[in-house]
């Protein structure tokens, strides 16, 4: 069956190999026992393995007496929104921006928030003792599973309501749906507000999610925006919790740029508590410098949306996110939402009467930054790889100020992420190449 292990974003693995139907069934049973709710919401993205794993997880919930509302294909943040709106826990079967072969199961509380790590640990432990639990329900006590055909429209109305009646009439926008969950709802959101909408990569076939498209590959969107003479392009990832934007010239605005843009806009409207935003250590130094020049503090956290959310909550801040485009508006949502972020960006541009290119011109002067993912056999051995860390120390000494090295094992993929900032791009490239070689030598490359 395999073992349940929650990473930084739920339980993930290769579908039907590491994340099997048997494990999904066990996770459903364990979640029902630990969370103790009478009903759950369950959805998925467009991966081929989604129905398999969703059915198994839902069966596990029902086997322990919980009713299940199957909401079908919906973005991950839609499940978070629905969980809070309907005051019941939710789960989404998705591996976000990963390749289609992967899948995952992510849980939300009845408040629409990620589960605390101690609750995830309790679910892991419960999976190991399912055969020693109480007698299973029988008869009318067995949970019912029914499709909820109102969920997508309820989410659309909820997202649209944040504009408080403002509209996007006439704005021409191209949406890259990554052949993922955004395909079922993003167009309706923007069209219902009067925008002129073109969509690309909105024909999911179960295997093409994130394949050369979406927020991790926005190049095709850049071309489409220019060719169609659109004002704005918005690229989501497979489960639509991330957003990368494209201006009318085809230039890409990543999460750092969007954070800066939103921080200034919120500050101008007295909606930025503490004159602060939250960003992870992966954000470019240019973001910190740009915000400092505007008397906005950047609160730095470790990588991951959990760290961002914790900092937002503890500091009472409204805005936080990651360079990847995972952006959280704490006063509006409980998690990052790519469709919400895109909607707020479009609203900002309409309100200001300026293009994205004009709003971002000179906003951030980036320090050269190079990012690489190194595929390895066992990322978990990184902390003990003394030779790698010796190389990192040597590289840091050679870079000097403002040089910076960040190295971490991914919590969602079998890779080590390497980031280097340096005075010039060539120095950053050389430093990354040296560290990547040390990582591969110490941890082993797949097939090597």
Taking only the tens place, the pLDDT of each residue in 166-178 is 999 999 999 999 9
Cis ω before 265 (30° cut-off from 0): no
- Give pTM, 2 decimals: 0.89
pLDDT over 80 (residue 447): no
For the chain, the average pLDDT equals 94
Residue 11: its H or E element: strand 11-14
The stretch 418-435 carries a mean pLDDT of: 90
The per-residue DSSP string of 65-126 comes to T-EEEEEEE--HHHHHHHHHHHTS-EEEE--TTS-TTEEEEEEE-TTSSBPPHHHHHHHHHH
- Tokens 């290769």 belong to 14
* Range name among 87-91, 312-316, 320-324, 379-383 with the lowest pLDDT average: 379-383
Domain 11-149 and domain 369-443 have a common topology: no
Looking at 3.30.310.50, 1.10.1040.10, 3.40.50.1860, 3.40.50.150, the CATH number of the domain 369-443 comes to 3.30.310.50
Report pLDDT digits (tens) over 227-242: 999 999 999 999 999 9
Q: State residue 448's pLDDT score.
A: 58
Q: Count Cα atoms within 13 angstroms, Cβ side, for 23.
A: 21
- Residue 292 backbone class (left: φ over 0; alpha: ψ -120 to 50; beta: rest): alpha
Instruction: Please tell me which residue, 414 or 344, carries the higher pLDDT value.
Output: 344
pLDDT over 70 (residue 313): yes
> Residues 257, 284: contact at Cβ < 8 Å?
no
* Range name among 1-15, 291-305, 361-375 with the lowest pLDDT average: 1-15
Q: State residue 2's pLDDT score.
A: 59
pLDDT over 80 (residue 9): no
Widest distance between CA atoms in the chain: 70
* β-strand partners of 73: 44
| Predicted confidence band of residue 308 (pLDDT cuts 50, 70, 90) | very high
Q: Count Cα atoms within 13 angstroms, Cβ side, for 276.
A: 17
Instruction: Please tell me which residue, 55 or 382, carries the higher pLDDT value.
Output: 55
- Tokens 């895109």 belong to 342
Domain limits of the chain?
Answer: 11-149, 155-360, 369-443
pLDDT over 90 (residue 201): yes
- Compute the distance between CA of residue 445 and CA of residue 269 in angstroms, rounded to an integer: 50
- Compute the distance between CA of residue 245 and CA of residue 259 in angstroms, rounded to an integer: 12
Q: Is 96 a catalytic residue?
A: yes
> Residues 246, 252: contact at Cβ < 8 Å?
yes
Q: State residue 251's pLDDT score.
A: 98
Which one of the listed residues 55, 58, 94, 96 is annotated catalytic? 96
Residue 296: its H or E element: none
The verdict on domain 11-149 having CATH code 3.40.120.10 is yes
Report pLDDT digits (tens) over 43-71: 999 999 999 999 999 999 999 999 999 99
pLDDT over 60 (residue 1): no
The verdict on domain 155-360 having CATH code 2.50.20.10 is no
- Compute the distance between CA of residue 38 and CA of residue 33 in angstroms, rounded to an integer: 10
* Range name among 243-252, 254-263, 284-293, 377-386 with the lowest pLDDT average: 377-386
Of the chain, the percentage scoring pLDDT greater than 70 comes to 99
Q: State residue 424's pLDDT score.
A: 86
- Tokens 């980031």 belong to 419
- Compute the distance between CA of residue 389 and CA of residue 397 in angstroms, rounded to an integer: 12
- Compute the distance between CA of residue 199 and CA of residue 346 in angstroms, rounded to an integer: 16
């Amino acid at each position: 069956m395999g073992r349940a292990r929650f990473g930084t974003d739920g339980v993930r693995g290769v579908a039907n190999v590491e994340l099997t139907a048997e494990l999904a069934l066990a996770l459903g049973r364990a979640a029902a026992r630990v969370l103790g709710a009478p009903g759950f919401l369950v959805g998925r993205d467009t991966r081929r393995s989604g129905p398999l794993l969703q059915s198994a997880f839902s069966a596990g919930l029902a086997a322990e007496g919980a009713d299940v509302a199957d909401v079908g294909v919906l973005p991950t943040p839609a499940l978070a929104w629905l969980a809070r709106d309907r005051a019941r826990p939710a789960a989404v079967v998705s591996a976000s921006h990963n390749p289609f072969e992967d899948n995952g199961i992510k849980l939300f509380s009845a408040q629409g928030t990620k589960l605390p790590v101690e609750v995830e640990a309790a679910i892991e432990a419960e999976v190991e003792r399912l055969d020693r639990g109480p007698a299973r329900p029988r008869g009318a006590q067995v949970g019912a599973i029914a499709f909820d055909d109102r969920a997508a429209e309820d989410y659309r109305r909820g997202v649209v309501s944040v504009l408080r009646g403002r509209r996007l009439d006439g704005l021409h926008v191209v949406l890259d749906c990554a052949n993922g969950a955004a395909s079922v709802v993003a167009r309706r959101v923007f069209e219902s507000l009067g925008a002129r909408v073109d969509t690309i990569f909105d024909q999911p076939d179960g295997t093409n999610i994130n394949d050369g498209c979406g927020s991790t590959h926005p190049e095709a969107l850049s071309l489409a925006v220019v060719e169609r003479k659109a004002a704005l392009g918005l690229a989501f990832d497979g489960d639509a919790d991330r957003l990368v934007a494209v201006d009318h010239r085809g230039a890409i605005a990543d999460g750092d740029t969007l954070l800066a843009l939103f921080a200034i806009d919120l500050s101008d409207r007295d909606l930025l508590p503490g004159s602060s935003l939250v960003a992870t250590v992966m954000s470019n130094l240019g973001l910190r410098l740009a915000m400092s020049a505007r008397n906005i503090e950047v609160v730095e956290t470790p990588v991951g949306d959990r760290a961002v959310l914790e900092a937002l909550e503890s500091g009472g801040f409204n805005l936080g996110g990651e360079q990847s485009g995972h952006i959280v508006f704490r006063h509006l949502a409980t998690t990052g939402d790519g469709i919400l972020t895109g909607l707020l960006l479009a609203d900002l541009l309409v309100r200001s009467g300026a293009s994205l290119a004009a709003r971002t011109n000179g906003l951030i002067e980036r320090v050269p930054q190079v990012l690489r993912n190194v595929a390895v056999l066992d990322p978990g051995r990184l902390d003990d790889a003394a030779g790698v860390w010796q190389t990192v120390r040597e590289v840091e000494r050679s870079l000097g100020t403002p040089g910076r090295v960040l190295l971490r094992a991914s919590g969602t993929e079998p890779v080590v992420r390497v980031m280097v900032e340096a005075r010039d791009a060539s120095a950053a490239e050389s430093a990354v190449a040296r560290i990547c070689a040390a990582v591969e030598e110490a941890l082993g490359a797949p097939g090597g």
